[in-house]
Amino acid sequence: MLLTITASILTLAWLGLALRGIRGMNRIPYLEHLPPAESPKVDPTLSSLTVIIAARNEEKAVGGCLESLLAQNYPGSLQIILVDDRSTDTTGSIGDEWAAKSGGLLEVIHLTDCPPGWLGKCNAMSEGAKRAQGDFILFTDGDVRFESTSLSRAVRHMEAEEADMLVVFPDLITHSLGEGALVLVFGQALVTAFPPWKAMQAGSSKFVGVGAFNMVRRSLYERCGGHRFLKLQVVDDAGLGKIIKYAGGRVRVALGRNMIHIRWQDSLAGTIRGLEKNAFAGLGYSVGRTVAAVSLMLFAYLWPWLGMGFGPWQARLLCAITALVVQPWVGWNATRLARTAPVLAFSLPIGALLFAWTVLRSMIVTLRKGGIRWRDSFYSLEELRQHKL
């Protein structure tokens, strides 16, 4: 009886998750479907934009990022700032080379140190923002590539919606089954924790932020204190979304299919390492919350498969429906939105195991070290907990 009740609850929970996610994500427009600026020439009515790229040791990708930004069909005033955050490779010189042939469009700031009490990336973005002249600021990363009309579409949407923040989810490029499965479940966890359709509602306390594309109205960003309140935020992108939303900002979200692309990490192992600093931070550095979240996730993703093998027939039938029908349906919709291989719709249990290990590893490594080491700097767990939002 207990197994049947448990299976019933789990089946209903998966159906609710599927319907909620599909209905919610259908409210979010694709950036490629939004109108770009109409004129290919100078348009004084289009708001000015500053793009800030914080980059450290990004020599493999930063050239492509800058090339795509300099090729933008943006009729308004555009300013691009690359902040070279103490790179030990050729990131800075690559930036200088592109700046020399940009006709003054690109400026490179070379940072040689980081002030105490600041994370390097947060400090880099703050330093870039001090030079910003645009009505809007786009904070992005050095491994993102932009299609030629993506920025004009984004700004036009900001103007039409009178928005204070626009978050665009990029296409995530993956090269293996394990990497794709992990990213898919990570994306589901992210959307569950930070439902973007809720962030767009004025009366909701939900917020959202994505490191690849956070565009904000500069006047509100400055009134919020900029990155001053985010200086020790490991999950700084969501932190920026939080301070904008809590300041009363109007938030909009779009999907960057065919417009914004990023090869987030170079392998499955790289993805796991890349989440090392973020996963435990995203759970507030709480051991109890982390263990509870991982346990609940593993139960939700794995029990339907295990439950097909024992118990009364009603429970086994419900588990089979969940594992073989509902989960793949949720997975298929996720692959459609993420533009990954449809076969990954059946990989959710694998992705859940990988993501559970990633989260637990993040917690264990952080606790063992007493903090995080990020970009050759160490930040104690005590100070990180003191400055969490």
Which residue type occupies 29?
A: P
With tokens 């004009």, the residue in question is 152
pTM summary value: 0.91
> What are 259's two structure tokens?
């417009």
Distance CA 52, CA 107 (A): 10
Domains and CATH numbers, the chain: 2-24+275-383 (no CATH), 27-266 (3.90.550.10)
> What are 286's two structure tokens?
């709480």
Q: Which of 145-154, 263-272, 335-344, 377-386 has the highest mean pLDDT?
A: 145-154
- H helices present in 86-235, as ranges: 91-100, 120-130, 150-161, 177-193, 196-199, 218-223
Distance CA 69, CA 64 (A): 9
> What are 6's two structure tokens?
């448990």
Asked if pLDDT for residue 293 goes beyond 90, the answer is: yes
Q: In this predicted structure, what is the pLDDT of residue 389?
A: 67
Checking DSSP bridges between strand 171-172 and strand 106-111, what pairing results, if any?
Answer: unpaired
Residue 217: closest CA among 205, 206, 229, 226: 226
Q: In this predicted structure, what is the pLDDT of residue 311?
A: 84
Average pLDDT score over residue span 358-367: 93
Residue 257: closest CA among 62, 20, 37, 25: 25
Average pLDDT score over residue span 356-363: 93
Q: How many CA atoms lie within 13 A of 292 on its CB side?
A: 7
The CB density around residue 365, as the number of other CB atoms within 10 Å, is 16
Contact in structure between 121 and 235 (CB atoms under 8 Å) = no
Contact in structure between 230 and 139 (CB atoms under 8 Å) = no
Q: In this predicted structure, what is the pLDDT of residue 186?
A: 87
H or E stretch at 84: strand 78-85
Residue 133: closest CA among 111, 107, 96: 107
Encode pLDDT of 20-63 as tens digits.
Answer: 888 888 899 999 999 886 555 566 678 999 999 999 999 999 99
In DSSP terms, which residues pair with 49 in a beta bridge? 78, 136
Asked if pLDDT for residue 150 goes beyond 80, the answer is: yes
Q: In this predicted structure, what is the pLDDT of residue 179?
A: 85
Encode pLDDT of 228-249 as tens digits.
Answer: 889 888 889 999 999 999 999 9
